[in-house]
Amino acid sequence: MRKAYSIPTPSLYHLYTNSMVTRRCSRGASKVPPMFFRRPKLHPDTIKSPFLRLVYYQILVIMARKQGDYESGKLGNKIYYTWHGRQCERSMPTSVANPKTEAQQAHRSNFAIISRLSSYMKEAHLVGLHWHAVSEKNSTYSIFKHLNKDCFTPDGQVDLPRIIVSRGSVERVEITSASIDDNVITVTFDSRAYGGNATDEFFRFVYCPALCTGRLATPVPRSAGLVTAVLPPEWLQPIPNTQEESTPAIPQTDPHSLHLYAFLRSTYSRTSDTIHLSLPV
């Protein structure tokens, strides 16, 4: 006589049967019952047998992969996460070494600064790093922080000329001149498409470090060769430490200048590397 396990419905037998039917239906059946795509509402703590609990975890992973809905979070002493589009799991560490050395504290401080800077420059990297993030199956925020984690001077300030807001295989354009007259910025760039296309879009992002804010202007075709934009009046006479309380200041090099970041984007959303230019106010 088989031993009966006290398991709330749906039971492991039903879960296993549903996963088998789902796989059979996906191979050639014309219609799959909707119930087979629902996540079972069964908590693993109610399963007494370790073997059945392991089977339950395996069925969850199979069903999650079939549905395209991956597990994420902490469950018991296991942590489930997604890495490059794949379901992964790891065990919780029994002990965490946190010596809080000087180098460790400096790295944490730099990472926090870059995280804030990524929010200030989000308009630029959401466009410039989009293709790079899609190919890496990651977010533009993570890509931005990874590329700029070492853009610091020895005294701990953000080296703004080294900041990367765009990266790609498109041949970048050369800026011939940039000037500010009253509150209008004029940028002249090479309109000749050597290895690119004349229809490529020219993006420019102006960042004001004194106010910790930036603006992404409307793109123009590469064939234009000239673009102008109106800047806010307060950007031309920035006063340090005038940020709102919700906008914390970060240590940056050359805070009294405007920084121009430009890049190209092709018709297939591929981008070029970042072009930086400092504009004294």
Pair of tokens at residue 261? 């970041």
Percent helix, percent strand, percent coil in the chain, to nearest 5: 30, 25, 45
pLDDT value for 246 = 45
Domain boundaries, the chain: 12-91, 102-280
Write down the pTM of the prediction.
0.66
Greater pLDDT, 89 or 261: 261
1 pLDDT more than 90 = no
Q: Which residues contact 235 (CB under 8 A, 6 or more apart)?
A: 183, 206, 208, 211, 258, 281
In terms of Cα–Cα distance, which of 53, 55, 18 is closest to 37? 18
pLDDT tens profile 64-76: 554 455 667 777 7
Closest by CA position to 201, among listed 262, 261, 265 = 265
Q: What is the CA angle 30-34-39, rounded to 5? A: 130
Tokens at 1, concatenated: 């006589």
Least confident residue range of 17-31, 46-60, 187-201, 216-230? 17-31
Highest-confidence range of 32-36, 61-65, 66-70, 245-249, by mean pLDDT? 61-65
Give strand pairing partners of 203: 263
102-280 has which CATH code? Answer: 2.60.40.10
